[in-house]
Structure 1
Amino acid sequence: MTVLTAGRKQAQARQPPGAAGRDAPLALGRRRLFWPFVIPALLFLAVFYLGPLLFGLWTSFHSWDGYAAMEWNGLGSYRALVDDPYFRTSMVNTFKILVLVGLAVFVLAFALTMVLREMAGKRFVRAVIFFPHIVNAMVFGVLAGFLFNPGGLVNSALAGLGVDDPPKWLGSGNVFLLIMATMVCTSTGFYVAIIMAAVDNIPGYLYEDAELAGAGAFRRFWHITLPLSWDVVTVCAVLWTISSVKVFELVLVFGGTFTTSAPPIETWTSALYIYRNAFTGSDVPQFGTVCAAGITSLLLVAVFTALLRRLMRRDPVEY
């Protein structure tokens, strides 16, 4: 910031006399156009984001089934969440996705980035790796049924190899592991593409100098790639934190369609918990508890994101 300010002052000092006066009408016009362009976006955010958020916060302090009048409940809905084992399970699973799947995704993304950096045809390989991310998650849920159900391709292949008692892949004890493995496979390409875009801008002579100095692949990554792409890595970490809370359709199809009418409790995430308690139609909806769960998830993600950005804050590296 100091360098930019000094450069701006030097540029202003080199301007011919009267140049600042000629630029004044242009700056005034930009200021006049600021609010006409910003107000529609602010109205959109207020109507479709801030409004529902405030309504959900207000509803979380009430008991409401969506039809009768709201009844003030105070913090009763939040206390009910603390005592609800289903909610605790869903939050634990959400944090498993956030931490365990996130670590696997970023380790693989960095490994593939270092491999692809010097590979011939890296753009094509990058597109192939990125492709699973643009496919709807429900497709992978349906594909899992054909692959891992008792008569699926995986068990048929194992039977051909002499395995008489194959694992119950879609059982309640294994299905969440398959869900996490599927998320690693489908999400890694997205972050490889983003990190590779940052790595492509790193001058090649830095790697050449490090290689001539005897630095191995890991040292080149640790001292060149990671520091010079740290800002992009921070953004990727925030994006992953936000997306991990929204995991829904993969769990719904993966855990529900081929096992029971609903996914096993062991596979629920916070998003699926909210869905099951609000829109299943089997019981009376408890929108107060549902909104409390949504607000709690939002607050936890906001705190985790703030801490993550705080911990990953570093001084910019110039090269």
Structure 2
Amino acid sequence: MTQVATATERLTVGTAAPRGGRTGGNAIDRARKRLFVPFVGPAFLLYTLLFVVPAGYAVWISFNKWAGAGPMEFVGFGNYIRLFSDKLFLQSFGNTLLLLFVVGIAIFVIAFGLTLVLRDMAGRKIARSVIFFPHLVNAMIFGVLAGFIFNPGGLVNSLLAVFGVNEPPAWLSHDNLFPLIMVMMTWVTTGYFTTILMAGVDRIPPYYYEDCALAGANAFQRLRHVILPLTWDVFGTCAVLWTISSVKIFEIIWVFGGSTGAGMPPTQTWTTAVYTYVTAFSGESVPAYGAATASAVLSLALVSVLVLLLRRVMKRDAVEF
């Protein structure tokens, strides 16, 4: 009893509040304030110089008519009015939304399905590496490879000829090219998000599954009440990453679309990223940097709005385990 009392006294003394009330807490707060500038200041300065200032200058350019050199001519919302009256921009914007939603849904359905299949499979680490491999290859290489596969004398048509199809479809026609790009983007990107989702599922403690087994829960109930709730934050992160990536898709469209021999991808395959590039550098004898920058600003606005909506829609109370 004496030893317990002595230990209790020591614990009481060690945890006693310092004299002066919240003096200790105030000292810590003052130390944090003093360290804020030397530690956070340089990062904030770099962020301002490398992102905030260029983004603000881009917004200013979007309100001007400018050829990239010489004086600017302020046109207000003229560039934006031009974009929304341009059928080619509207088509490019629609293609971007198709990649964002249709390809995004396909990616997450396939990725989550692979995650569930590979979760208890032997050799899943090797399978994970194989699935992730396409993401390591440069998108331009996939564009060149796809051109060889789907050209009139390529691999697909050669295989069809073996099975007696003497008049295979024109895969690289303008009508078929964008669906092929959507399929390729699904294939290239699925492994990346499968790896992230598998990491999210792997962190779930085994005792959750043991409790499900004791309660007699079936596979669907385990998926609904354990796996999905405990990986919901991972799904949210993946959705934000895909939203940002889908709006920036450029290389694979430019290279694969250019394999038709036209020098640049057909307009049926353009996204806002391709439209912005062509408008700024390749579309006219006099570059229209103002209109191109307005297109880029709209893409940034689209991403910002969608990310905010995703964070709001997919927001749930954090589950600690």
TM-score, with length taken from structure 1: 0.90
Structure 1 residues 68 and 23 mapped into 2: Cα distance closer, same or farther (>3 Å)?
closer
SS in 1 for 2:175: coil
**Aligned match of 2:141:** 139
Per the alignment, residue 82 of structure 1 pairs with 84
Taking the TM superposition and a 5 Å limit, the aligned residue runs for 1:127-276 are 127-276=129-278
Give the Cα–Cα distance (whole angstroms) in 2 for the partners of residues 106 and 317 of structure 1: 22
- Quote the offset at 1:29 in angstroms: 4.3
SS of 2:143's equivalent in the other structure is helix
On the 8 A contact 1:114/1:221 being kept in 2, the answer is: no
Q: Following the alignment from structure 2 to structure 1, what is the Cα–Cα distance between the partners of residues 290 and 192? A: 36
1:49 corresponding residue in structure 2: 51
Q: Separation in 1 of the partners of 2:12 and 2:36?
A: 24
Residues 158 and 166 of structure 1 are in contact (CA less than 8 Å); yes or no, is this contact kept in structure 2?
A: yes
Corresponding letter in the other structure for 1:119 = M
- In structure 2, relative to structure 1, the CA distance for the partners of 1:67 and 1:210 (3 Å cut) is same
Deviation digits for residues 91-129 of structure 1, max 9, x if unmatched? 101000110010011111111111111112212211211
Residues 82/130 of structure 1: CA separation in 2 closer, same or farther (3 Å cut): same
Larger deviation, residues 110-119 vs 94-103: 110-119
1:155-201 per-position Cα deviation (integer Å, ceiling 9, x unaligned): 11111111011111111111111111111111111111111112111
Shift of 1:24: 7.2
CA distance in 2, matches of 1:286, 1:183: 30
Change over 3 Å in CA distance of 1:213–1:75 after alignment to 2:
same
Partner of 1:106: 108
Amino acid at match of 1:174: N
Structure-1 separation of matches of 2:261 and 2:303: 30
Q: Structure 2 CA distance, aligned partners of 1:275 and 1:58?
A: 18
**Contact residue 171 and residue 259 of structure 1 kept, 8 A:** no
Q: TM-score, normalised by structure 2?
A: 0.90
The residue aligned with 1:40 is 42
* Matched AA of 1:38: V
Distance (Å, rounded) in 1 between the aligned partners of 2:320 and 2:45: 39
Shift of 1:258: 3.4
Which moved further from structure 2: 158-167 or 207-216? Answer: 207-216
The structure-2 alpha-carbon separation of the partners of 1:146 and 1:45, relative to structure 1 and needing over 3 Å to count, comes to: same
What's the CA shift for 1:30?
A: 4.4
In the alignment, structure 1 segments of 5+ residues that lack a partner are 1-10
Q: Structure 1 pair 58/30, CA: closer, same or farther in 2 (3 Å)?
A: same
Residue 286 of structure 1 corresponds to 288
Letter in 2 for 1:316: A
CA contact (8 A) 1:131 1:189 kept: yes
Q: What amino acid maps onto 2:226 in structure 1? A: I
Question: What secondary structure does 1:279 align onto?
Answer: helix
Task: Confirm or deny that 1:91 pairs with 2:93.
Answer: yes
Q: Distance in 2 between matches of 1:15 and 1:201?
A: 35
The alpha-carbon distance between structure 1 residues 190 and 12, as it changes in their structure 2 partners (threshold 3 A), is farther
In 2, distance between residues paired with 1:14 and 1:62? 67
The alignment's C-alpha RMSD in Å is 2.3
- Amino acid across the alignment from 2:118: L
Percent sequence identity is 51
Task: Note the alpha carbon deviations across 1:223-266, whole angstroms, 9 max, x for none.
Answer: 21110011111111111111110000010001113341110111
**CA offset at residue 14 of structure 1?**
7.2
Q: Which consecutive unaligned segments of at least 5 residues does structure 2 have?
A: 1-10
Q: For the structure 1 residues 314 and 36, does the alpha-carbon distance in structure 2 shift closer, same or farther, using more than 3 Å as the test?
A: same
Q: Per-residue deviation at 1:31?
A: 3.6
Q: Which residue of 2 aligns with 1:6?
A: none
